[in-house]
Amino acid sequence: MIGLFRALWVGVVIAALVYLGFAVADGLRFDTDMLALVPPAEQEPEYRAAVNALSADFERRFVLLVGGEDDRNAIAAARIVARAVEGTGHVERNTALSPSGARSALLDLYLPYAGQLLSSDDRRRLRQDQGEAIAQRALAQIFSPASFATSRQIRQDPFQLLPAFLASLPPPPMREARQVGPDQIYSDEAGRSWVLLDYRLLAEPYALRVQRRIESALASAERDNGGAPVLRLGTLFFAQSGAETSLREMSLIGGASLAGIVALLVWTFRSIGPVWQSVLALLTGVVCAVAVGTALFPRLHVVALLFGTTLIGTTIDYCMHYFCTAFGPGGASAQARLRHILPGVILGVVTTLIGYAALVLAPFPGLRQIAVVSSAGIAAAALTVLLWFPVLNRRITVSRGRLPMSIAGLAYHWLRRPRYRLVRSCLAMGVVVAGMAGIALLQINDDIRTMQAADARLLDEQRRVREITGLAPALQYILLAAPDHGAALQREERLRSRLERLRGQGAIDGFTMAASFIPSPARQLEDRSLVRQKLEGPMLARQRAHLGLLAPKAPGREVSGDTVLTFEESSVSLPFLKNLAVTTEDGGLFHVVPLRGVKDEQAVQRAIVDLSAARLVDPVGGVNKLLADYRRWAVGILALSVGLMFALLVWRYRLLGGVRALFAPVAAIVLTPGLLALVGHSFSCFDAMALILVLAVGADYAIFCAEASQAWRRVTLLAILLAALTSMLSFGLLAFSSNFAVASFGFTMLVGVLLSLIFAPVAFARPTRPPK
Amino acid sequence: MKAFAAATIFLAYLLNAPSSYAAEVASRAPLVQHGQVLRGEFVQHRHLAGFGAPLRSTGQFSVAPGEGLIWKSLVPIPTTVAISLHGLVQTSGGTELMRLSAVQAPQFAQFYRFLEAALAGDWNALAERYDIVTSRDGEGHVILLRPKNGGGMLPFESVTITLDRFVTGIVIDRHGGDSDRIRFSGIAVDEGGLGDGERTLLESTAQ
């Protein structure tokens, strides 16, 4: 019968492998979109697509400032840098940033439409029949020495409506550069010149190959320039720095972890068998997990994949228990060993699956995927241990385990001798009191910005670029959906007055919108009619006479009929407008209104609540909220899991036995955050997720202790010790990572597994009735 | 013969070399110092291509180095323009017609720097942004300014300044064929500084 199951399991694993192979051949891709982790009810796919399109564009852009003692040196150095960077073939020059020259471009663009572009003040004046004041202002300006109006501008705009309109435009998003030939040059406070190079990546910004190519081109250009400074700003550089650090850490931490685990297993069992057999169990778990995840979900998220497969790592415990049974009192028969661990493995798997299955209840797609992937993986790895290990692992002899067993014996001796009871109690109480005291100090941290360990040099360069150019990315923005640009501009105009009110109230520092530069077609037609009626009709002839304009021309405009200035026409002359609109892959059009200095997000939300097409987007706030939601759900699910586990353990061991069995995992998940708080570690989503793992391993340790008869306790202790050491080596070493999320996970695992190990023997106490 | 011709040309070049005047003019200290005010009257003719006649205006001006410039037209449109590094305010009959901050319109700050330096005779300040060629005109000097690096934000082709003790005229040739010809008279340095009204007006440019 067992042989049939064994063969069947081989077939299932092969089927999973084949299925996965086909999925990979079909172009299996994992979802990397953080917004996909948000509950579907909050997602709004069309806005999500727009946000993603904007993020993708933002991630592909980068800016370089090349410095020199004066313009000539800076330009020469910039030429070398540009040649090197453009030589990689991965970039194109971007003109969308360039504010320099925008002023003359504005005039050329607007002049033909001068009679239909009104500042809000002029519109108000005309509505209040104050056209005379506008006419007088025009004359005063034209006669003033400070007038920059050319004869052409005066002929076409005798009421000088355009200068007033231009003056009403918002300040440029960046400082104005000096245009020297084709180069835009900024000066810093020390008088040094900096040439701006603005690029868009044509390749994937997170591809390490691309990042290294660009960085190498920059390094070579810097050498050729004799050390002329180059300041970098862009996701590309931070991504590369992060990737290189991660690679270094992975090779160091991963190498140390692997070497430690292999050395530990080989030393304990004097055989390489347990190493590859453990790897086999974990691999079958991962293969089955990914296959099930891919089959059940249209697109598996990379976060769920990573965390789900990490959870499978807890099944290393079952491997250790199986291997250690070779040192047990009942002989080395494979079937006997299997029989001995079977109840513990089944109970361990069931309690773990109960806990993870609770994740399915969460409304978060990420947690549901994690639940499915980890449950499938853990069940598969456990089946491999139960079905294959008795065949694969027969050769460990008891004599090889003498030393490890004597170490476990010492531990057991210390645990059961009454004279150590006081010391044991004091130590346990000390840990409990310290942990509980730490809980009072616990700080919650959901702010992604505090979790980023960005390269200090790049941060400094970013700060310098912002100081010199005034370039400051908007951290929050409003997305406006519309069928076309004209309608979008009209919606922006409705939004504008509300945002101006918010600015007046100090809720925001400012905003940028396309409608500030191009009034909607409806408004242009309305303004044209107003100008004709209130200004040109009654006053044009007199104004022209004052100015000595000879030949009468079409009043104030070169365009005729219903021609209006369009977004498309404007964005050719003013390329920065392209950054204020985004079209999604399925053709959805959105206008973007970046907000500066948002002080009161709720006020902004209230201001747009009745604008059905408007959404406030706060990428950082969104991620923070997501982290907070996941943290809360993880903690809630931990509590639910504990409840479900308790029911199962009470069924198995009765009330007191259940309490003892649950003591270690509960103590671990409660005290770990407290103990970490004592050393200043804040509690984040990553700690909460690690606690789910701690609960699983803690429950495993305790269950095996509860299942162990007197004669097997030293063997069980050895297995738990080995399981804990491998967990600490694989997860605990992550605490040394410079990445906050990884380090948090590692810290919590390190302390949590240690506490689980320390308290697991509590479950050794005789249950009130023999195990079923 | 050739040698004589060459020597004659060389001598003529030396005699007319603008650099000798440039050194003399550049060595002059600015005519007006901080705390003082340069006051005078102006007649401006604005020549606009395609217009029947130049636009003529007359009035008074005051320049307080570092503080600002007040340009008060009396005819034909009574209007006052106050410009400082902070911005520009234009009023007429006590009514504010226009207000621009230097952030909105940085070209006005540049124009203020230019006009202040030209009227106050601060040639070193002008030399930072303009190539300067000086020549003698009777007892006075003619100073030709050509913008460096494309002229920045000011649409000037060239500027010609005539001066004796003070500036007597400025001709600004703009891109596109327009030009301003401004004649100055009655210029004097007022040691008393700005009046309260003037100071308030200039300070209002920063609001």
Max mean pLDDT range (A242-256, A539-553, A748-762): A748-762
Q: Which residue of B has its CA nearest to A133?
A: B97
Q: What's the pLDDT tens digit per position in A394-425?
A: 765 655 677 888 888 888 888 888 888 888 88
Backbone φ and ψ for A724, nearest 5 degrees, come out as -65, -40
CB pairs under 8 A between A and B: 100
Select from A151, A176, A179, A180 the residue whose CB has the most chain B CBs within 10 Å, as the one to mutate to test that interface: A151
Q: What's the pLDDT tens digit per position in A18-75?
A: 998 998 888 777 777 666 666 665 667 777 778 877 777 788 888 899 998 888 889 9
Please answer yes or no on whether A178 and B152 come within 8 Å at the CB atom.
yes
pLDDT at residue B9 is higher than 70: no
Please answer yes or no on whether A146 and B81 come within 8 Å at the CB atom.
yes
The pairing of strands A510-511 and B167-174 is unpaired
The percentage of residues in chain B with a pLDDT greater than 90, rounded to a whole number, is 20
Q: What is the pLDDT of residue A772?
A: 45
Model confidence band, residue A483 (pLDDT cutoffs 50, 70, 90): very high
Give the CA distances from residue A104 to residues A166, A179, A186, in Å, rounded to whole numbers and listed in that order.
11, 12, 19
Q: How far is B58 from chain A (nearest CA, A)?
A: 10
Nearest CB partner across the interface for B77, out of A143, A145, A176: A143
Please answer yes or no on whether B44 and A143 come within 8 Å at the CB atom.
yes
Please answer yes or no on whether A141 and B71 come within 8 Å at the CB atom.
no
Q: Which residue of A has its CA nearest to B96?
A: A137
CA distance A467 to A470: 6
What is the C-alpha end-to-end distance of chain B, expressed in Å? Answer: 71
Q: What is the pLDDT of residue A771?
A: 44
**B40 CA to centre of own chain:** 13
Burial class (CB in 10 A: 0-12, 13-18, 19+), A25: exposed
The pairing of strands A178-180 and A183-187 is antiparallel
Q: Which residues of A touch B48 (CB under 8 A)?
A: 150-151, 154
Helix, strand, or coil (residue A191) = coil
Kindly state the tokens that stand for A562: 């219903």
CA distance A585 to A592: 16
pLDDT at residue A209 is higher than 90: no
pLDDT at residue B116 is higher than 90: no
Q: What is the pLDDT of residue B22?
A: 54
Q: What is the pLDDT of residue A396?
A: 59
Q: What is the pLDDT of residue A732?
A: 81
B57-91 b/e (C-beta count within 10 Å ≥ 16 → b): bebebbbbbebbbbbbbeeebebbbbbbbbbbbbb
Mean pLDDT of the A662-681 span:
94
CA distance B81 to B98: 9
Q: Which residue of B has its CA nearest to A139?
A: B77
Q: Which residue of A has its CA nearest to B73?
A: A144
pLDDT at residue B21 is higher than 60: no
Q: What's the pLDDT tens digit per position in A553-597?
A: 544 445 556 788 998 888 877 777 887 888 888 888 999 898 888
CA distance A750 to A675: 11
The percentage of residues in chain A with a pLDDT greater than 70, rounded to a whole number, is 92
Helix, strand, or coil (residue A317) = helix
Q: Which residues of A touch B53 (CB under 8 A)?
A: 548
Select from B47, B153, B167 the residue whose CB has the most chain A CBs within 10 Å, as the one to mutate to test that interface: B153
How does DSSP assign A657-691, residue by residue? HHHHHHHHHHHHHHHHHHHHHHTTPPB-HHHHHHH
Peptide bond before residue B76 is cis, with ω within 30 degrees of 0: yes
- DSSP-derived secondary structure letter, B51: B
Average pLDDT value for chain A: 84
CA distance A64 to A234: 9
Q: How many CB atoms lie within 10 A of CB A655?
A: 11
CA distance A34 to A48: 10
The pairing of strands A581-583 and B87-92 is unpaired
Mean pLDDT of the A686-706 span:
91
Please answer yes or no on whether B71 and A146 come within 8 Å at the CB atom.
yes
Kindly state the tokens that stand for B96: 């504010």
Q: Which residue of A has its CA nearest to B45?
A: A143
Q: What's the pLDDT tens digit per position in A271-310?
A: 888 889 999 998 999 899 999 998 998 888 877 787 777 7
Q: What is the pLDDT of residue A129?
A: 92
Q: How far is A76 from chain B (nearest CA, A)?
A: 16
Helices A713-730/A316-324 angle, 10° precision: 150
Which helix (H) or strand (E) is B190 found in, with range? strand B179-190
Q: What is the pLDDT of residue B86?
A: 87
Q: What's the pLDDT tens digit per position in B34-50?
A: 888 999 999 999 998 87
Nearest CB partner across the interface for B150, out of A140, A179, A546: A179
Q: Which residues of B touch A145 (CB under 8 A)?
A: 44, 71, 81, 115, 180, 182
ipTM for the whole predicted complex goes beyond 0.90 = no
Q: What is the pLDDT of residue A225?
A: 81
Helix, strand, or coil (residue A592) = strand
Q: Which residues of A touch B88 (CB under 8 A)?
A: 146
Model confidence band, residue A456 (pLDDT cutoffs 50, 70, 90): confident
Q: What is the pLDDT of residue A448?
A: 79
Q: How many CB atoms lie within 10 A of CB A266?
A: 14
Q: Check: CB of residue A645 under 8 Å from CB of residue A662.
A: yes
Place of tokens 């011709």: B5
Q: Which residues of B touch A180 (CB under 8 A)?
A: 149-150
Q: Which residues of A touch B180 (CB under 8 A)?
A: 145
Please answer yes or no on whether A145 and B182 come within 8 Å at the CB atom.
yes
Q: Which residue of B has its CA nearest to A161?
A: B98
Q: How far is A24 from chain B (nearest CA, A)?
A: 56
Q: Which residue of A has its CA nearest to B58?
A: A143
CA-based max dimension of chain A: 117
Q: Which residue of A has its CA nearest to B48?
A: A151
Select from B41, B44, B45, B46 the residue whose CB has the most chain A CBs within 10 Å, as the one to mutate to test that interface: B46
The pairing of strands A91-93 and A193-201 is antiparallel
pLDDT at residue A178 is higher than 80: no
Residues sharing a CB contact under 8 Å with residue A758, sequence separation 6 or more, in sequence order:
A428, A431, A664
Residues sharing a CB contact under 8 Å with residue A606, sequence separation 6 or more, in sequence order:
none
**Secondary structure string (H, E, C) spanning A50-66:** HHHHHHHHHHHEEEEEE
Please answer yes or no on whether B51 and A549 come within 8 Å at the CB atom.
yes
Helix, strand, or coil (residue A118) = coil
Model confidence band, residue B204 (pLDDT cutoffs 50, 70, 90): confident
Task: Read off the pTM.
Answer: 0.68
Give the CA distances from residue A661 to residues A124, A319, A603, A762, in Å, rounded to whole numbers and listed in that order.
78, 21, 51, 7
Please answer yes or no on whether A151 and B48 come within 8 Å at the CB atom.
yes
Please answer yes or no on whether A137 and B48 come within 8 Å at the CB atom.
no
